[in-house]
C-alpha cells in the first residue's frame, strides 16, 4: 500500500484485505487532501494483514503529510516508510517524532526525508506545476513549452553551479519501450534547449522514466496530460 504525494492529485495504490479497509483509507485521504484530489487505485484481494493493520494505516494518514513534497508513504506488512522532501528544516525532527509516536509496536517506522534546499524551491516555484508540452508523439517542444523553459533558464542561472537532473515522463498510452525512449528524448530536448540559453552543459543531466512514475490517473485525458511531464531535480 502506498500513497504518492509527489503532486496533485494524490495517487493511492496497493492491495487491501477488504472493502471496509479500502473505504476507511480513502475517506481519511480525502479528509486530508480534498475530495477531488485523491485517485483510487486500491485493489481488494484476499491477503493476510497484520493485527490492527487498517487502524494503523489510517492513523498514519496525518495532515502533516502535506508538509512533504515529492513524497511517498509506503506500508508493507508492519513496515511504514515515509520519503520525500521538507521545505522547512525546523519541521523535520518534529514530523519524524510525531510519526514514531503514531506508529504502534510491532509496526516499525522508517524515514528517508530530505531538506528541500533553496535551489530546489527556486526551480519548483518557477515550474509552478505547469506542464512543458511537446508536439504529439515527438520530442519537439511547443511554443508554450519553450516559454516555460525560458523562465526556467533564468531560474537556473540563479541556482548557480548546482547540477540539475532533467527527468522525462510519459502517460501509459502505447508501447512501454517506445514511451521510455520518448521520455528520454524529451528530457534530452529540454537539456539541449537550456544549453542554448547559456546553461552550462556540465551542470545538466537527463533521464527518461517512461510511464513508470504516474502522478495522475491514466484513465482520463486530464490525468494523461499531467503524466506527460518534465521534472527538474537539483542534485
Asked if 9 and 44 sit in the same domain, the reply is: yes
Q: What is the dihedral of CA 12, 113, 157, 208, to 10 degrees?
A: -50
- Give yes or no for a contact between 228 and 174, defined as CB atoms under 8 angstroms apart: no
**Model confidence over 167-194: pLDDT tens digits?**
999 999 999 999 999 999 999 999 999 9
Tally of domains in the chain:
2
User: In the listed set 115, 134, 156, which residue is the last one of a domain according to the structure?
Assistant: 115
> How many Cβ atoms sit within 10 Å of the Cβ of residue 56?
18
Residue 8: pLDDT band (50, 70, 90) is low
Domain range spanning residue 51? 2-115
Residues 87 and 111 in one domain: yes
Rounded CA-CA distance 235/231 in Å is 13
Bridge-based pairing of strands 164-168 and 204-208 is: parallel
* Helix, strand, coil percentages for the chain (3-state, nearest 5): 45, 25, 30
Last residue of a domain, one of 81, 115, 149: 115
Q: Which of 115, 137, 169 is the last residue of a domain?
A: 115
- Give me the residue label for grid cell 515527438: 138
Let me know whether 46 and 139 are in one domain: no
Q: Are residues 76 and 132 in the same domain?
A: no
> DSSP secondary-structure letter at 19?
H
The answer to whether residues 108 and 17 belong to one domain is yes
Give pLDDT, residue 6: 44
Amino acid at each position: 500500500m502506498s500513497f504518492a504525494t509527489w503532486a496533485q492529485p494524490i495517487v493511492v495504490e496497493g492491495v487491501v484485505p477488504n472493502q471496509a479497509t479500502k473505504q476507511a483509507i480513502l475517506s481519511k485521504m480525502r479528509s486530508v487532501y480534498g475530495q477531488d484530489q485523491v485517485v483510487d487505485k486500491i485493489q481488494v484481494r484476499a491477503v493476510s494483514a497484520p493485527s490492527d493493520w487498517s487502524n494503523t494505516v489510517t492513523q498514519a494518514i496525518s495532515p502533516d503529510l502535506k508538509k512533504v513534497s515529492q513524497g511517498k508513504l509506503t506500508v508493507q506488512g508492519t513496515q511504514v516508510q515515509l520519503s520525500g522532501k521538507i521545505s522547512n528544516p525546523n519541521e523535520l525532527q518534529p514530523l519524524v517524532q510525531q510519526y514514531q509516536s503514531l506508529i504502534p509496536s510491532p509496526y516499525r517506522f522508517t524515514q528517508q526525508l530530505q531538506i528541500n534546499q533553496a535551489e530546489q524551491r527556486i526551480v519548483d516555484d518557477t515550474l509552478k506545476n505547469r506542464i512543458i508540452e511537446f508536439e504529439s508523439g515527438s520530442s519537439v517542444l511547443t511554443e508554450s513549452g519553450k516559454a516555460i523553459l525560458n523562465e526556467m533558464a533564468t531560474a537556473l542561472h540563479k541556482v548557480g553551479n548546482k547540477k540539475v537532473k532533467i527527468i522525462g515522463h510519459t502517460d501509459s498510452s502505447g508501447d512501454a519501450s517506445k514511451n521510455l525512449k520518448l521520455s528520454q528524448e524529451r528530457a534530452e530536448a529540454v537539456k539541449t534547449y537550456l544549453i542554448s540559453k547559456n546553461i552550462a552543459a556540465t551542470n545538466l543531466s537527463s533521464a527518461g522514466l517512461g510511464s513508470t512514475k504516474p502522478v495522475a490517473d491514466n484513465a482520463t485525458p486530464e490525468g494523461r496530460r499531467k503524466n506527460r511531464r518534465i521534472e527538474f531535480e537539483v542534485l
